[in-house]
Structure 1
Amino acid sequence: MGLAVVTGASSGIGLELATIAASTGYDLIIASDEAKIEDIAIHLQDFGVSVQAVQADLSTIDGVDRLIEDIAADGRSVDLLMANAGRGLGKGFLDQDFAVALEVIETNIVGTIYLVHEIGRNMRSRGAGRILLTGSIAGFTPGTFQAVYNGTKAFINSFSFALREELKDTGVTVTCLMPGPTETHFFARADMLDTSVGQAKKDDPADVAKAGFDAMLNGEGDVVSGWKNKVISAAANVLPADMLARQHRKMAEPGSASDK
């Protein structure tokens, strides 16, 4: 089928995207900052495809360069780029460790668009390729107690549509997957298990990944996974920002889980 690159592939949506690609017959280069990415690669080889694991910190230019070098060493063009790596961060902005907040920005924005810039140029030069960016419905809402994270997703959502238009008629498509709360390690890593959203029922990452993968192959501009998330995203386009910020407080404020 070709070569697919998936970042943030050690768990959650990224792992499911990699699984779908492998089951469809794509050889893989998968990346994560976690050592278990090596075990994931071995597991995915059961689909009869070649899988290369790259452990790298994609919040850094050096980490992305390492991934790019490994892709170049493979010698093949990338057919599918699924830029899924991302980090969350809960609690009030002024209570956060700024170094951690900066890492969220560098992972979700800087590392992501640097990778897209390098791989996207190669796609454009040969007139073929599909890019999937994992945005979020969080990008539609002022993220009270998730201000940095929601801000980064607003950037990715906007960036994906702009890049899609720039690449119109080049043979390269850009799709933005916009999930809602999904059953992954996200909320534990973001220190949000004491919040209402952290304790709520969430979407299945396999369903989210399939929606994104199918939309990418179909060349669609965006996909919001799940009917509830479609309603939320539609409402976010018409409700005042201050109202959205107050609503977000109810689900993301520390300790809000105990208010249920």
Structure 2
Amino acid sequence: MAANGQFAIVTGASTGIGLELARCCGENGFDLLIAADEAEIENAAASLRSTGRQIEAVQADLATTHRVDRLYEATRGRPVDALLANAGRGLGHAFLDQDFPAIRHVIDTNITGELYLIHRVGNDMRQRNSGRILITGSIAGFTPGSFQAVYNGTKAFLNSFSYAVREELRGTNVTVTCLMPGVTETEFFKRAGMMDTSVGTTSKDDLADVARQGFRAMMSGDPDIVTGLKNKIQSAVANVTPAEALAKQHRQIAEPGTAKS
């Protein structure tokens, strides 16, 4: 699985799954360009240099196309062998109670910026007829997310988008893989304002293990990976459960005040 001399971009890499995906890349021979919208990205870069690879960090809010352009320009024309599109934001509480600028930022981060970066790098890959794309979707994309409606909607979009683009690239040497984790031990729920919910306070999957599974799936060219047996069962059940019932079930874990004492 070693990829000595190859080059990867990892977004949302300051903490969480993104940082662990970047670590997997570095440990397997990829030089790295990592990005996030917070200063912690420099600390992440410092920790990743222990892998012995070339690491460059860009602090940029990838919700905007001009910031995505800045990240793309930081490649300095070096061919990207792997793009791990992991940047994402969550947002808890009822849709009508959320501030619309926050809603827009989730959509622009999870969808608009993500697609723009994939479009730019993916075109280069197709022209070279070589490359790997990993998109971080979620099993949340299988469920109407009451009290997390916008986030779940963006993940449903990404799950669907990944399969569609993979099919469009059939016959090329460019692969698209969708990583679909479940509830994972990251800062996600704290940042989304969901620490007063059942899902925010429940036990969670190990993020390093989730990242390793995603990395292996990308390197194997698999279409998708749902991490963890419980999540595999949950996603399978969601596919045969009426949407109204799923929305009611999601309310029980995501509505403010459902956290167990």
Q: Name the TM-score, length of structure 2 as normaliser.
A: 0.97
The equivalent residue for 1:125 is: 127
Q: Equivalent residue for 1:200?
A: 202
Name 1:179's counterpart in structure 2.
181
* Partners of 1:210 and 1:37 in 2: CA distance: 20
Question: Quick one: which amino acid aligns to residue 44 of structure 1?
Answer: L
Pairing of 1:33-182 with structure 2 (within 5 A): 33-71=37-75, 73=76, 75-182=77-184
Find 2:36's aligned residue among 32, 46, 58.
32
Between the aligned partners of 1:240 and 1:111, the Cα distance in structure 2 is: 32
1:233 aligns with 2:235: yes
Show structure 1 runs of 4+ deviating over 2 A.
none
Deviations 1:15-71 (A, max 9, x none): 000001111111000000011211211221111110000000101111111101111
Shift in Å, 1:115? 0.2
Q: CA RMSD in A?
A: 0.7
In 1: Cα distance, 2:46 partner to 2:147 partner:
38
Distance in 2, Cα, partners of 1:143 & 1:40: 31
Residue 16 (1) aligns with residue 20 (2): yes
Within 2, Cα distance between the matches of 1:230 and 1:46? 34
Q: Secondary structure at the match of 1:3?
A: strand
Q: Distance in 1 between the 2:256 and 2:13 partners?
A: 29
3-state SS of paired residue (1:58): coil
Structure 1 counterpart of 2:63, one-letter code: S
Tell me, which stretches of 5 or more residues in structure 2 are unaligned?
Answer: none
Alignment partners' CA distance in 2, 1:196 and 1:39? 31
CA distance in 2, matches of 1:82, 1:155: 17
- 3-state SS in 1 of match to 2:259: helix
> SS in structure 1 opposite 2:204?
coil
Distance 2:10 2:209 in 1: 17
Partner of 1:189: 191
Percent of paired sites with the same residue: 63
Query: Equivalents in 2 of 1:136, 1:24: separation in Å?
Result: 25
Report the Cα distance in structure 1 between the residues aligned to 2:245 and 2:44, rounded to whole angstroms.
42
Q: How many residues were matched structurally?
A: 257
- Mind listing any 5+ residue stretches in structure 1 that lack a counterpart? none
* Equivalence for 2:8: 4
Match of 1:248 in 2: 250
Q: What SS does structure 2 have at the residue aligned with 1:257?
A: coil
Secondary structure, aligned partner of 1:63: helix
For residue 76 of structure 1, report the CA deviation from its aligned partner: 1.7
The aligned amino acid for 2:164 is A
Cα distance in 1 for residues equivalent to 2:151 and 2:47: 31
CA deviation string 1:142-192 (max 9, x = no partner) = 000000000000000000000000001110000000000100000000000
